[in-house]
């Protein structure tokens, strides 16, 4: 796991053609906006979170965020334990994000 600044996370993500953006916030937080093209798996699902992670492709590079960087750091640690080699935590999370945001219907 690596903690990346907003600038480094964005730059690395733009250059990575094997990337997946993962939002681990609650549904209520996602309803207020989500980073464009991110997939959402709520870390508070407990074992359900683990099950959903297990369905993901472990050869991809995961760029993980939450509201401020705490939960996404935990998610990256869990992912590493499950055999994901590349999980990058966004320091400052969505609350400091300056990039594109989508709103789900």
Residue corresponding to tokens 């939450």: 66
Q: What is the CATH number of the domain that holds 60?
A: 3.40.250.10
The reply to whether 104 falls in a domain is no
| Residue 105 within any structural domain of the chain | no
User: From CA 29, how far away is CA 39, in angstroms rounded?
Assistant: 13
31-75 pLDDT, tens digit per residue, is 999 999 999 999 999 999 999 999 999 999 999 999 999 999 999
66 a catalytic residue: yes
Considering its fold, how many domains does the chain have in total?
1
What number is the average pLDDT over the span 94-98? 94
Q: Which residues 6+ apart lie within 8 Å of 37 measured at CB?
A: 21, 102
pLDDT at residue 105 in the model: 61
Domain with 23 in it: 2-98
Q: Does 60 reside within a domain?
A: yes
67 domain-assigned: yes
- Which of 20, 30, 53, 66 is flagged as catalytic? 66
Q: What number is the average pLDDT over the span 2-14?
A: 94
The pTM is what? 0.95
Q: Looking at the domain assignment, is residue 103 inside a domain? A: no
Asked if 87 contacts 76 with a C-beta cutoff of 8 angstroms, the reply is yes
């Amino acid at each position: 796991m690596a903690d990346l600044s907003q600038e480094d996370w964005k730059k690395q993500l733009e250059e990575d053609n094997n990337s997946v953006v993962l939002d681990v916030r609650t549904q209520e937080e996602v309803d207020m906006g989500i980073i464009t093209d991110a997939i959402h798996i709520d870390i508070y699902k407990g074992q359900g979170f683990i099950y959903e992670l297990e369905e993901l492709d472990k050869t991809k590079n995961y760029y993980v965020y939450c509201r401020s960087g705490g939960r996404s750091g935990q998610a990256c640690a869990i992912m590493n334990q499950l055999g994901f080699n590349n999980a990058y935590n966004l320091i400052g999370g969505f609350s400091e994000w300056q990039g594109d945001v989508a709103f789900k219907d």
